[in-house]
Copies of this chain bind each other. A is one copy, B any other.
């Protein structure tokens, strides 16, 4: 059981009726519901002081889940610094969907994190390419999402340490949809599904992936990281 903080931009849900209909209490509430069976969950949003990510919150967070889209630029650089430091010290980070362009994800990757996309609502099928991975526990060989936004390659990220999912899209594209990284002592998982107008976080298999990913990203004790001049 990990102590999870779910961070959500929380804009689309309050500004766009179509999104409100899908996620009436915000995407963070649906994500919290998905995780609560196996983990302890708090939420935080952009409008809160420090975006809800005070030092106290971060220091008591095992895994931070991040969803952002239209307001990436409004996230304060000092908070990004703080989250990066937390990850390097061992906090897990799960970046969802359009968070490929979140400041914190780009900061940790060092690349543009660009990709191709098309909002067409076609079918997506996520294939498990690493069946023995902790994040694939209990899954079938693939997950089918009847309506999804397309994300296509090339996805400008560093080569993943482990690639867990590759997506097939009805329109003819593929995408590396589940990518694992280590940075410092922290584990990072990028997971593609999750557009704001498709009820993807209600899907039981996707919820299972989210719970597994949190379990995988939880820190272990490690060894002290003592830097600087040695005597």
A residues adjacent to B (C-beta < 8 A): 84-85, 88, 90, 107-112, 114-118, 125, 127-134, 136-141, 150, 152-156, 158-159, 161-163, 166-169, 172-174, 176, 181-186, 219-231
User: Complex formed: what's the CA distance from A108 to B227 in Å?
Assistant: 21
Task: Give the residues in chain B near A219, CB-CB below 8 Å.
Answer: 132
User: Complex formed: what's the CA distance from A171 to B141 in Å?
Assistant: 15
Task: Give the residues in chain B near A138, CB-CB below 8 Å.
Answer: 221, 223
Q: How far is the CB of A230 from chain B (nearest CB, A)?
A: 5
Task: Give the residues in chain B near A114, CB-CB below 8 Å.
Answer: 227-228
Q: How many copies does the complex hold?
A: 4
The A interface, classified by DSSP as helix, strand, loop or mixed, is loop
Knowing A117-B230, A137-B223, A223-B136, say if A153 contacts B173 (CB, 8 Å).
no
Identify which of B84, B129, B155, B181 contacts A176 (C-beta below 8 A).
B129
Task: Give the residues in chain B near A176, CB-CB below 8 Å.
Answer: 129, 163, 166
